[in-house]
C-alpha cells in the first residue's frame, strides 16, 4: 500500500558505490553514514508493514460494523413499520420502565 512510493531498499543503499575523486569524501564516513541509513530504513519498513496490517484490520472491522449498523437499522425500520410504533410510544414505554425500576 505505502511501498509504492519507496524508491530504495536497504540492499540498494548497502550496495551503492560512489566514485572517488581526489577531493572526494572519506569512504569510511560514507559507509558509516549509509549503515545508519540502512538501519533506519529497515526500521521504517517494519513500522510501515505493521501499520499497514493494522490499517487493513481496522478497515475490515469498520466494514463489518457498517454492515451490522445497516442491518440493525433495517430491522428497526421493519419492526417499527410492522407494529406502528412511534417515538412517542417508545418514550412512554421507557418512562413506564423507569418508574418500575427506579420507583415513582
How confident is the model over 49-83, as pLDDT tens digits?
A: 999 999 999 999 999 999 999 998 888 877 777 66
- Say what the pLDDT of residue 84 is: 65
Residue from 29, 31, 50, 49 nearest 39 by CA: 31
Q: How many structural domains compose the chain? A: 1
Task: Output the pTM of the full model.
Answer: 0.54
Burial of 97 (0-12, 13-18, 19+ CB in 10 A): exposed
The model's pLDDT over 15-51, given as tens digits with 9 standing for 90+, comes to: 887 777 777 777 788 888 888 888 888 888 899 999 9
**Domain with 90 in it:** 3-102
Numbers of helices and strands, H then E, in the chain: 3, 0
Amino acid at each position: 500500500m505505502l511501498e509504492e512510493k519507496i524508491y530504495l531498499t536497504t540492499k540498494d543503499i548497502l550496495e551503492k558505490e560512489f566514485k572517488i575523486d581526489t577531493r572526494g569524501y572519506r569512504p569510511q564516513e560514507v559507509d558509516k553514514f549509509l549503515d545508519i541509513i540502512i538501519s533506519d530504513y529497515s526500521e521504517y519498513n517494519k513500522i510501515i508493514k505493521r501499520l499497514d496490517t493494522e490499517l487493513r484490520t481496522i478497515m475490515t472491522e469498520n466494514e463489518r460494523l457498517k454492515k451490522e449498523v445497516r442491518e440493525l437499522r433495517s430491522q428497526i425500520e421493519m419492526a417499527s413499520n410492522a407494529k406502528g410504533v412511534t417515538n412517542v410510544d417508545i418514550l412512554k414505554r421507557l418512562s413506564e420502565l423507569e418508574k418500575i425500576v427506579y420507583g415513582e
